[in-house]
Amino acid sequence: MIKVENVEVAGFETAVRAMRNALNSHDKSDSAYRWDESDGRWDACLAVECEYVIGKNDLGLMKRLYKAGSSHRKYARQIYVGMDITTNHTVWSQLDTYKVGTVRNSGSKMHRIHVKSFEPDDFSHEGISEVGGRTVEVFSIVLEELERLRTMFNETHEKKYWRAMIDLLPMGYNLKATVTLNYENIFNIISQRAGHKMFEWDCLIEEFKKLPYVKQIMGEEE
C-alpha cells in the first residue's frame, strides 16, 4: 500500500529566474504571481496565498531543457516538494536510490514499535491476500509472534524481545515519513519506475504527475 498526504510545492520563482541566467534572457520571462487585481498591491499578495503562474515562454524553455537532459535542466533541482508518504519497507529501500538532495524524517521503530498492537493493516499484504492459503497462515503466525514479543518487552523491558521484533519484522511493514524532494528526483522516478512490479510506484508516479506543471514540462499535456 501507499498513501500520499500534505503535499507542498515551492521554488518556481527561484527556478525560473535561475533558468534564465545562462543566456541572460530575463526580459523574455513571462511568469508572474497572480493575485486580486482589484487591490493590486504587493503586500496584499503577501497577506494571502498567491499563485505563481508559469508563462508560455518560460514553460517552453522548461520543456526544451527537460528534453536536453538532466545536466541542462538544473532548474528542476530548485523546485522543491514536501509530502508525507506511508508505504512499506520495500518501497522505502528503493526510494532511497534517489536520495540526492532529499530529506526523509520517518516514524521511529526504535521508540514506537512496541507502543501499539500489531494489526494486519499495519503491513502491505496485497500479495499475501492474493496468494491466500498457507501464505496467509504464515503471515498470521508472524503477527501473533510479533505481538507476543511486544507484550514480553512491555512487561519485562528486556531488550532481547525488542531486538527479536525488529529482526522478525517483515519488509511489508508500513512506515510513515515526511520527505523533501525536488523536480529532478521526480522526473527520474517517473522515467525509471513506470510499470514497476511494485504497484506502489505507479501510484506514486500518478501523484507526482498531479504536481504543478510536471505533465506539461514532460510534454504529456499542453
Q: What is the pLDDT of residues 188-220, one digit of tens each?
A: 999 999 999 999 999 999 999 999 999 999 999
Q: Is the pLDDT assigned to residue 38 strictly greater than 60?
A: no
Backbone angles phi, psi at 130, to 5 degrees: -70, -40
pLDDT of residue 111: 57
Backbone angles phi, psi at 10, to 5 degrees: -150, 160
Identify whether 212 is part of a domain.
yes
Whether residue 25 is found in the same domain as residue 100? yes
Whether residue 26 is found in the same domain as residue 134? no
Whether residue 134 is found in the same domain as residue 182? no
pLDDT of residue 40: 52
pLDDT of residue 48: 52
Q: What is the pLDDT of residues 56-113, one digit of tens each?
A: 999 999 999 999 999 999 999 999 999 999 999 999 999 988 876 667 776 656 657 8
How many residues are present in the chain? Answer: 222
- Domain with 181 in it: 2-105+175-217
Whether residue 35 is found in the same domain as residue 121? no
What band does 50 get if pLDDT is binned at 50, 70 and 90? confident
The domain that holds 77 is classified in CATH as 3.30.1360.170
Q: Is the pLDDT assigned to residue 165 strictly greater than 80?
A: yes
CB 68, CB 170: distance < 8 Å: no
Please give the C-alpha separations between residue 136 and each of 62, 77, 98, 129, in angstroms, as whole numbers: 49, 44, 33, 6
pLDDT of residue 131: 97
> Number of folded domains in the chain?
2
Going across the sheet that includes 103-106, the strands are 2-10, 80-88, 174-182, 103-106
Closest of 174, 64, 172, 66 to residue 112, by C-alpha: 174
